[in-house]
A and B are shown apart, each in its own frame.
Chain A
Amino acid sequence: MEVLTQAEQAKFLLQDQNPEDASLQLEGSLTAASAGPLWRDLKQRIARSKFSRLKVDCAGLTYCDGSGIALLMDLILLKWSRQAEVTIINLQPRFQELLGQFDPQDFVHSKAAKPRSVSSIVQVGRGVHILWQDTFNLVSFIGHVFVAGFQLFKRGHRIRWRDVLLVADNAGANALPIVALISFLIGLIMAFQSAMPMKQFGAEIFVANLVALSMLRELGPLMTAIILAGRSGSAFAAEIGTMKVNEEVASLTTMGVDPVRFLVITRLMGAVVITPLLTVFSNLMGLIGGWVVLISMGYPTITYVQQVLGAVGLKDLSTGLFKSVVFGILVAAVGCFRGLQTEIGASAVGISTTKAVVSGLILIVMADGLFSVLFYYLNI
């Protein structure tokens, strides 16, 4: 039986009428481009054939690149896969030299080692272990930050104020437009949504109380912290993560400089300074949002201002600002923590950045919940 396959510039001819003495002729130029269809057809033909001895005649082979050599190797491997005796003849010496670089034994059990599959129980166990390890590392990191901060002031190490200002500029001043926009819209939407049902009871003036109390105690600090986590927490993780990948962090350590003191404290100080300032700005923009709604409903500005001043006091502002300081510390610390945890590889920085934002948001919400309970019991 004869099969002839034409694939660009390569073809094969398999004669297997006598299974004891089958012959295969390869002709033309066997390259990565031409070997594909030929290889597929040839393998199908060989699977149907029952030969036990195969002579591969390469006299007609004019060119043979690495893919062609791989095809010849695949034929040689039939010796192991189906106990056939395979001989290659008339292969040009230059191609013979290339083929001779490989020992077929190396490819018998061939193919790349596949990663072992892991059972779901082991996966759950690993997940729990990673979570525990992560929590432990975070606690340990917090301790490290406190110690580094304490030593910084106690021993009078030079604080890099330029870096602190740079962080404050990037994370604070540059965040003003987005904080302004989001807070204004939050105030406006909240006022508008609540004004409609309250109007039915003639209580729309109390929208001012609602907006003022919500913004100062809750939404101002919360929105600022969320924006900070998205903008700056991720940036801290990416910056420090890239430094870790480039072995800059290792370089600091071998110089005897504590990376936490050099990289983390400055960012923490910057975040602690700017978060309350941004929160004040956020509160103001939220109140302006509420004012726009009430003005549009016909109330004069003075009424709105008096209503706001009557509804909230210094206590509400200060609790909000206190929360914002804590949120700022959490976001900056977790951003730096994730950055320092970065492993090797291009995707590692991306993973750290994502983790920084997710962990930052979780910590903010958890801390906010704790504050609500705490302030309730302290009657603040």
Chain B
Amino acid sequence: MQNVDSTSCIIRVENFTAAYDGSVVIDDISFEVMRGEIFVVLGGSGCGKSTLLKHMIGLYPPAGGKILIDGRDIVTAEGEERRKLLRTFGVAYQSGALFGSMTLIENVKFPLEEFTSLPTEAIDLIALMKLKLVGLEKYSSHMPSELSGGMQKRAAIARAMALDPKILFLDEPSAGLDPITSAELDQLIMSLARNLKITFVIVSHELASIYSIADRVIMLDKRVKKIVAEGKPQSLRDESTNPWVRQFFNREPGRAETQGK
């Protein structure tokens, strides 16, 4: 898409290996995410998509290789450098992970209060505008526990966007949303990528959403623990030589054998 700066890489994953208790989940994969790109990580259940995301945001150190965000390694970054690096991205977790003791608007205001010198009324207005973007402005004074799972997820996206980070990591953003809200969320993602050149890294299963928003996808397979396909979703569906990839995109039951990338 036109907003993607194909010459400028914002995330570089080099020979990355993830393991839990010595058991390898992802084995030696490498890829790059370009600035302004909507990049989707796909794969069957348990293939390590969320694991990859959690390593990319620095929650766990890789078992091998490294992950560079804006040229800096999040694992080795310390002190002020790490703080700056963490401010370059926002994360919306699969479960929402809102702070249960705060109202929705307080959740969205929290990063603004922590990291900016904006006046209070400005923070109030920004937070309300973020909630408006995800259609939750009427629920600003509600506690997260008073809302449905889908609403909590949208509020989490509003919180992740609060500081307008360069990169937004979204873990299953449309899962559990109704089709209209999901389509609105897709529009929002595309608008932010196009107008503010925000890079999106999205873990998703929603094929309809992926076709409309993704610039590029990678597919992980838990059998080989590697990337088995990379490219535009439409071309993978129509042109991939890998039967499992075609099967995945065509939503066919039964498991076909995986071939290499």
| A67-B126, A113-B141 known; A32 vs B112 contact (CB < 8 Å) | yes
Majority secondary structure of chain B interface residues (helix, strand, loop or mixed): helix
State A143–B112 Cα separation when bound (angstroms): 51
* Binding stretch for chain B, among A272-280, A310-318, A339-347, A370-378: A339-347
Quick check: B143 and A345 within 8 Å, CB to CB? yes
* Binding stretch for chain A, among B99-107, B209-217, B237-245: B99-107
| A32-B112, A32-B163 known; A110 vs B124 contact (CB < 8 Å) | yes
State A32–B122 Cα separation when bound (angstroms): 10
Q: How many A-B contacts are there with CB distance less than 8 Å?
A: 103
Checking B119, B129, B194 against A66 with a beta-carbon cut-off of 8 angstroms, the contacting residue is B129
State A112–B132 Cα separation when bound (angstroms): 11
Checking A31, A94, A345 against B194 with a beta-carbon cut-off of 8 angstroms, the contacting residue is A94
Quick check: B105 and A112 within 8 Å, CB to CB? yes
Quick check: B128 and A36 within 8 Å, CB to CB? no
Count of chain A residues with a beta carbon within 8 Å of a chain B beta carbon? 37
Quick check: B140 and A113 within 8 Å, CB to CB? yes
Q: Does A125 reach chain B (CB closer than 8 Å)?
A: no
State A306–B162 Cα separation when bound (angstroms): 76
Checking B99, B119, B121, B125 against A36 with a beta-carbon cut-off of 8 angstroms, the contacting residue is B119
Looking at the assembled complex, report how far the CB atom of A40 sits from the nearest CB atom of chain B, in whole angstroms: 5
Interface string of B178-204 (1 = CB under 8 A from A): 000000000000010011100000000
| A33-B116, A69-B129, A112-B128 known; A98 vs B191 contact (CB < 8 Å) | yes
Chain A residues in 8 Å Cβ range of B117: 36-37, 40
State A345–B119 Cα separation when bound (angstroms): 30
State A70–B164 Cα separation when bound (angstroms): 12
Q: Does A368 reach chain B (CB closer than 8 Å)?
A: no
State A95–B192 Cα separation when bound (angstroms): 10
State A33–B164 Cα separation when bound (angstroms): 10
Residue of B nearest to A7 (CB): B117
Q: Does A85 reach chain B (CB closer than 8 Å)?
A: no
Looking at the assembled complex, report how far the CB atom of A351 sits from the nearest CB atom of chain B, in whole angstroms: 11
Q: Does B1 reach chain A (CB closer than 8 Å)?
A: no
Chain A residues in 8 Å Cβ range of B112: 32, 67
Quick check: A112 and B103 within 8 Å, CB to CB? yes
Quick check: A112 and B129 within 8 Å, CB to CB? no
Checking A36, A98, A107, A111 against B195 with a beta-carbon cut-off of 8 angstroms, the contacting residue is A98
Checking A73, A94, A115 against B129 with a beta-carbon cut-off of 8 angstroms, the contacting residue is A73
Q: Does B144 reach chain A (CB closer than 8 Å)?
A: yes
Q: Does A74 reach chain B (CB closer than 8 Å)?
A: yes
State A344–B149 Cα separation when bound (angstroms): 12
State A107–B117 Cα separation when bound (angstroms): 22
Q: Does A114 reach chain B (CB closer than 8 Å)?
A: yes
Residue of A nearest to B129 (CB): A70
Interface string of B141-158 (1 = CB under 8 A from A): 101110000000000000
Quick check: A344 and B145 within 8 Å, CB to CB? yes
Looking at the assembled complex, report how far the CB atom of A76 sits from the nearest CB atom of chain B, in whole angstroms: 11
Interface size class of chain B, counting residues whose CB lies under 8 Å from the partner chain: 35 or more
Residue of B nearest to A346 (CB): B100
Residue of B nearest to A343 (CB): B145
Which of A45-68 touch B at CB < 8 Å?
65-67
| A33-B116, A113-B140 known; A70 vs B101 contact (CB < 8 Å) | no
Looking at the assembled complex, report how far the CB atom of B162 sits from the nearest CB atom of chain A, in whole angstroms: 8
Looking at the assembled complex, report how far the CB atom of B241 sits from the nearest CB atom of chain A, in whole angstroms: 39
Quick check: B129 and A346 within 8 Å, CB to CB? no
Chain A residues in 8 Å Cβ range of B161: 66
State A66–B140 Cα separation when bound (angstroms): 18
Quick check: B164 and A32 within 8 Å, CB to CB? yes
Q: Does A39 reach chain B (CB closer than 8 Å)?
A: yes
Chain A residues in 8 Å Cβ range of B116: 32-33, 35-36, 67
Q: Does A199 reach chain B (CB closer than 8 Å)?
A: no
Chain B residues in 8 Å Cβ range of A33: 116
Which of A64-119 touch B at CB < 8 Å?
65-67, 69-71, 73-74, 94-95, 97-98, 101-102, 106-107, 110-115
Looking at the assembled complex, report how far the CB atom of B150 sits from the nearest CB atom of chain A, in whole angstroms: 16
Chain B residues in 8 Å Cβ range of A112: 103, 105, 124, 127-128, 140-141
Looking at the assembled complex, report how far the CB atom of A141 sits from the nearest CB atom of chain B, in whole angstroms: 23
Chain A residues in 8 Å Cβ range of B103: 112
Residue of B nearest to A94 (CB): B195
Looking at the assembled complex, report how far the CB atom of B104 sits from the nearest CB atom of chain A, in whole angstroms: 8
State A98–B118 Cα separation when bound (angstroms): 20
* Contacts from A to B (Cβ < 8 Å): 31-33, 35-37, 39-40, 43, 65-67, 69-71, 73-74, 94-95, 97-98, 101-102, 106-107, 110-115, 343-348
Q: Give the 9 A-B residue pairs with the shortest CB-CB distance, closest first.
A: A36-B117, A65-B164, A346-B100, A112-B140, A344-B145, A345-B145, A345-B100, A94-B195, A112-B105
Supply 23 A–B pairs (Cβ within 8 Å), ascending by A: A32-B115, A32-B163, A36-B116, A36-B119, A36-B122, A37-B117, A39-B119, A66-B129, A66-B130, A66-B196, A67-B118, A67-B126, A94-B196, A97-B191, A97-B195, A102-B129, A106-B137, A107-B125, A110-B125, A111-B124, A112-B128, A343-B145, A345-B100
Q: A102-B132, A344-B145, A345-B100 are in contact. List 4 more A-B contacts (CB 8 A).
A: A43-B119, A66-B162, A73-B125, A345-B144
